[in-house]
Amino acid sequence: MKAVRASIEYLKDMGVKHVFGIPAGSVNAFFNELYDIPEITPIVTKHEGAAGYMAGAYAKYTNQLSVCIGSSGPGATNLVTGAANAMREHLPVLFLTGAVPVSTMGLNASQELDADPVFKPVTKYSVTVTDSKDLLSEIVKATTIAVSGVPGPVHIAMPIDVQQGLVSSEIPAVVQKAVVAPDLKIIQQAAKELVDRKSGYIFVGQGARNSTDLLMELAEMLQWPIVVTPQAKGLLPNDHPLFAGVYGFAGTEKASALINDGNANSLLIIGSSLGETATNNYNDNLTKNRFSVQLDFDVTVFNRKYAIDLPVLGDIHLSLMYLIEELKGLGLSRKTAEPVEANRELEGGEEYSTKNVLAKLQQFLPPSTRYTIDIGEYMAYVIHHMKVFEPHTFDINVHFGAMGSGIGSAIGSKLAEPDRPVVAITGDGSFFMHGMEILAAKENNLPILFVILNNARLGMVYHGHTLQYKRSHATFEQTPINIAAMAAAMDLPSFRVDSMDDLNQEVLDKLTTLNGPAVLEVALVDNNVPPMGDRVKFLSSFGK
């Protein structure tokens, strides 16, 4: 059996269903073997960068390993951004790249690149395999590293001749991922501290994405308000009586008031690395005069910027289970409450603005819709104004902030959960980077609605630069392009919105009841300053 076939058989046994990427000479042996393995479907993308975003979203919403592949040289370098994105989101993605034959390494062969050191800073593990007999064992090692402990991406470079080499046909059993259990004594200490201090806030990041039910139970036992980071928007419904809003970039006034002026003496941090966008530019008020307990699976997040009184290292789901049991032992019980109806009201109006367009979209789309949000000025409106009606309905990567990532994420998400409605919210700037991936959605019959807010400029750059320097360069704007017409030329259903009256239930129904993707272009120049919260003050004062 060829080494590459043995490796694919192992990936199949791991439950891999899709491989995202682009065929090329240096990985043709891999794709050739897929002919005979119907359990794995190649998703051929238009750019390797988008393949990385698709694979990341697929890993996130299946909660299992995902695989992405590219050629040697430029294919590999195009994948690096996707790897960095997966690293920031702790997503277990195996990045495979082709490589020139071992015998031609260092001889300036076509598309030669030593990709191993390129991927090292943005992966948990990176290696070039130079002997066929080692390829499968490295696949086993890398995938185990990817899913264990702190999940994250890994990379293997596979020279052409290494893939083709003959090896033993014995495929090892799949290695089960290793989960770090929390120290029970520290959990007991945390429970006692939380009970004794009585008042506090629960600060939730994206690391808690697989534990929403436990989060609800914990909050209802403590009766503490829940504040989420921008990354965690979508985890908890807005109509929960304890939900206090989003804190950080584009955060809500209520959440900011609690953190900045609230009198609670404790802060329970769950699954947040407390980065810049989550903490309003590292606001000292977050932990000031508060006893802080932080639950995380990544030891490096403790005491990174904020001094943490009690760090709890371990799998977040397990830590929450243990903590809840300890709280029960200390006499706490769950106190449920009815949803707050007011929090289901959409914040819309009649002015043709970004805020009102997004509210109207939610009015006409199912509450279970997952919105994959790209990077642009609309992102601030989404975080600040759009409502969460059901868990896991927003996908935003403000952390790494890769333009175009929302487009690929929509495709990965739809493949992971085919029955969930998916809407990508992107802008013309991001669309011109990765918009051709709507063809990948078409070729795979994926019913995704791509909403493109087209203001013919780099909106976030425009507003940020204007706030910072009181002027904006003319080249930040561009000649308006009719994107709906572009979509029509690609034989894709499309509709162009020029006013609030154009957006109605009939239009949305026509675009969301198809067996493939559709494009809704919103032609809108909104000169309102996006609701970026304290980020506005930060940019306005920069350089003074």
Both 140 and 195 in one domain: the answer is no
CB 296 within 8 A of CB 280: no
Task: Please tell me the least confidently modeled range out of 37-41, 168-172, 484-488, 505-509.
Answer: 168-172
In this structure, are residues 43 and 440 in contact, taking their beta carbons and an 8 Å threshold?
yes
User: Of 329, 356, 376, which one is at a domain's C-terminal end?
Assistant: 329
Domain stop point among 271, 299, 329: 329
205 occurs within a structural domain: yes
Supply the pLDDT for residue 179: 86
Answer whether residue 541 shows pLDDT above 50.
no
- Position 477 scores a pLDDT of 72
Kindly give the pairing relationship between strand 422-427 and strand 370-373: parallel
Q: What is the pLDDT of residues 496-511, one digit of tens each?
A: 999 999 999 999 999 9
List the CATH number of the domain containing 118.
3.40.50.970
Residue-number span of the structural domain to which 203 is assigned: 184-329
Same domain, 77 and 135: yes
Same domain, residue pair 392 and 491: yes
pLDDT value, residue 464: 65
Query: Do 96 and 128 share a structural domain?
Result: yes
| C-alpha to C-alpha distance for 288 and 127, rounded to whole angstroms | 44
- Please, what is the average pLDDT of the chain? 92
Residues 154-207 have pLDDT tens digits of 999 999 999 999 998 899 999 888 889 999 999 999 999 999 998 999 999 999
Same domain, 248 and 382: no
Q: Among 537, 544, 498, which residue's Cα sits nearest to residue 521?
A: 498
Same domain flag for 9 and 125: yes
pLDDT per position as a tens digit, 298-307: 999 999 999 9
124 shares its domain with 237: no
Q: What is the mean pLDDT of residues 107-136?
A: 95
In percent, the amount of the chain with pLDDT more than 90 equals: 83
Mean pLDDT of 438-443: 97
Does residue 365 sit within a domain? Answer: yes
Neighbours of 513 (CB within 10 A): 9
Q: Do 503 and 357 fall into the same domain?
A: yes
Q: What is the DSSP letter of 176?
A: P
Nearest to 187 by CA among 312, 271, 293: 312
- Answer for the pair 63, 413: CB distance below 8 angstroms, yes or no: no
Measured from the Cβ of residue 243, the count of other Cβ atoms closer than 10 Å reads 23
Residue 150 domain flag:
yes
What would the mean pLDDT of 351-380 be, rounded to a whole number? 94
Looking at the fold, whether 469 and 509 belong to one and the same domain comes out as yes
Contact, 392 vs 209, CB < 8 A? yes
Task: Answer with the residue of higher pLDDT: 403 or 11.
Answer: 11
Residues 194 and 253 in one domain: yes
What domain count does the chain have? 3
pLDDT at 77 over 60: yes
Query: 519: Cβ–Cβ under 8 A, 6 or more apart, which residues?
Result: 438, 449, 450, 452, 483, 484, 487, 492, 493, 494, 495, 511
**pLDDT exceeds 80 at position 339:** no
The answer to whether residue 386 sits within a structural domain is: yes
In a domain, 272, yes or no: yes
User: Closest by alpha carbon to 84, among 97, 75, 93?
Assistant: 93
pLDDT at 216 over 70: yes
Q: How many CA atoms lie within 13 A of 272 on its CB side?
A: 32
Task: Give the list of residues 6+ apart from residue 105 with CB closer than 8 angstroms, or none.
Answer: 99, 112, 114, 159
Asked whether residue 27 is assigned to any structural domain, the reply reads yes
Looking at the fold, whether 352 and 215 belong to one and the same domain comes out as no
Amino acid at the residue 513: T
CATH code at position 261: 3.40.50.1220
Q: Is residue 339 part of a domain?
A: no
Give the pLDDT band (50/70/90) at residue 105.
Answer: confident
Q: How far apart are CA 204 and CA 268, in angstroms?
A: 8
Query: What confidence score (pLDDT) does residue 243 get?
Result: 95
Question: For residue 540, what pLDDT is reported?
Answer: 47
